[in-house]
Amino acid sequence: MVKDGVPVEIQSVGAGAVNQAVKAIAISRGFLSPVGIELSCVPSFADIVIDGEYRTAIRFDIMPRYISQSNDVH
């Protein structure tokens, strides 16, 4: 889990699934930001096989990046 510092991979096939994956990443940012974790996301293409057919998926590699929670004003 990203919250535990472990990178996560999401693969989506089809416009609707990619849309839902992007929304899930955006929602996750909202949950993790208050605890000092920012998400870094790298999209790429992946060739996969579904029911014996080759398909192209969009792959999201999601990595945590820890941010300072300092309230100091400079």
Q: In what order do the strands lie in the sheet with 37-50?
A: 8-12, 53-66, 37-50
Place of tokens 């996560």: 8
Higher-scoring residue by pLDDT: 3, 47:
47
- pLDDT at site 24: 95
Q: Where are the domains of the chain?
A: 2-66
CATH H superfamily, domain 2-66:
Alba-like domain (3.30.110.20)
Higher-scoring residue by pLDDT: 1, 49:
49
Higher-scoring residue by pLDDT: 63, 69:
63
Question: Is the pTM higher than 0.85?
Answer: no
